[in-house]
Amino acid sequence: MAELARLFLRLGLVAFGGPAAHIAMMEEEVVSRRRWLSREQFLDLLGATNLIPGPNSTEMAIHIGMVRAGLRGLIVAGLCFILPATAITLGFAWAYVRYQTLPQMSALLFGVKPVVIAIILSAVVRLGRTAVKTPWLALLGLAVFVLGLRGVNEIVLLLGGGAVGIFWSTLRRGPLRTSGLGLLGVMGLIAVVPIAVGAVGGDASGSMVSPSPSLRAIGLYFLKIGSVLFGSGYVLIAFLRGDLVADYRWLTELQLLDAVAIGQLTPGPVSSTATFIGYLLAGGVGAVVATAGIFLPSFLFVLATNPLIPRIRRSATAASFLDAVNVSSIGLMAAVTVELAASALKGWAGWAIGLAAVVGLVKFRLNPAWLVVGGAVAGWGLN
């Protein structure tokens, strides 16, 4: 348990670059280094995570903790991954309220971003070797990669890929097995019920319009967001702008932009933006309430879905669906890598740092955490 806590505390401190980078670091640590999971197990967890609401990297940490040490592991891994980013964000929020300005960290991030690209690319290659079991799965992954670059919604691609997997299984094996469909139906129900609850909760938004919201209102709002948020962290920004700025008028446009900037500057899940907003609205207690609200659903979703994953793998129909979703997830990760590289690898310095990180990962098997620190130092020195 102590090793689990130390690992996810460290990952929470150095996990820059968004969910794809966080997941890549987890794969390196729990599959390649510690061998707590096989690559197929890791891919199955990733596929299941992509099909339920909530921040993907946080849910992966919670899944890994549960597989490793049961309910206690679920709590320890999840909290240890979340706490570093939350604590750092809380410090920034205090400084922001006191001094009305943000720290200048662009020099550090200049060096960290190319390292993040190298880490994600390395994980895509390793996971791809396991996920691509047949030529048709390779074609599916390529199609998802291309469509992801063209901006097609992530959930559409994942569910579409899973549907293609079931169709292909039917062609090869004959009629569908109802047991497999039943398991997938349970997974779907877990994902869909919160969306309906969130929609009902949204109908009462008029009562939440206030420049000084109560702790209850803050908690309920972020609980709803944590229950219905699919996709990348950037989807969260769209929710926050539509609700907190336009509808509830809890924040100004500038405050929201500063909150988003803090989410990008800090390691760990971008959902820690909720901590910053909670502090702006109601001080330290507001930060705790907002943070608990946005992350609590992730723990509950993982607790509900984790026991189903081995049963899904044992069903031929459901396993075909999961294989297709896994490959689709890799295709999406590859698309994210290309998109991030366009902004991260600027000039000879960015390329040099990125190539050095690749050599460190592939040839010397360096720990990604040290590479992130090295990238930050290099970025600071070059700027």
Q: Into how many domains does the chain fold?
A: 2
Tell me, what's the pLDDT at 187? 54
**Is residue 110 a part of any domain in this protein?**
no
Tell me, what's the pLDDT at 118? 87
**Is residue 338 a part of any domain in this protein?**
yes
**Domain extent for 23:** 1-100+115-344
CA 17-18-20 angle, to 5 degrees, is 100
Question: In this structure, are 128 and 216 located in the same domain?
Answer: yes
Question: In this structure, are 356 and 298 located in the same domain?
Answer: no
Question: In this structure, are 76 and 181 located in the same domain?
Answer: yes
Tell me, what's the pLDDT at 210? 61
Tell me, what's the pLDDT at 204? 43
- Both tokens assigned to 143: 């199609």
Quickly list DSSP for 291-314. Answer: HHHHHHHHHHHHHHHTTHHHHHHH
Residues with Cβ within 8 Å of residue 148, at least 6 apart in sequence: 154, 157, 331, 332, 334, 335, 336
Question: In this structure, are 357 and 233 located in the same domain?
Answer: no
Question: In this structure, are 164 and 89 located in the same domain?
Answer: yes
Residue 118's closest CA among 362, 379, 313, 325? 362
Question: In this structure, are 308 and 366 located in the same domain?
Answer: no
CA dist 307 to 66, 187, 381, Å? 10, 11, 48
**Is residue 108 a part of any domain in this protein?**
no
Contact (CB, 8 A) for 91 and 22: no
Cα separation, 168 vs 120, in Å, equals 29
**Is residue 377 a part of any domain in this protein?**
yes
Cα separation, 306 vs 304, in Å, equals 6
Residues with Cβ within 8 Å of residue 255, at least 6 apart in sequence: 280
Mean pLDDT by 10 residues, the chain (383 residues): 94 82 91 92 88 85 95 96 93 84 68 82 83 90 92 81 84 58 53 51 50 87 81 62 82 79 73 90 95 92 86 75 84 83 83 92 80 86 80
Quickly list DSSP for 148-184. Answer: HHTT--HHHHHHHHHHHHHHHHHHHH-SPPHHHHHHH
Q: Would you tell me the crossing angle of helices 273-305 and 178-202 to the nearest 10 degrees? A: 150
Question: In this structure, are 195 and 286 located in the same domain?
Answer: yes
Question: In this structure, are 26 and 54 located in the same domain?
Answer: yes
Reported as type and span, the H/E element at residue 129 is helix 106-131
Q: pTM for this structure? A: 0.75
Question: In this structure, are 161 and 233 located in the same domain?
Answer: yes
Question: In this structure, are 324 and 363 located in the same domain?
Answer: no
Tell me, what's the pLDDT at 200? 46
Question: In this structure, are 340 and 353 located in the same domain?
Answer: no
Residue that the structure tokens 């791809």 belong to:
128
Question: In this structure, are 245 and 350 located in the same domain?
Answer: no
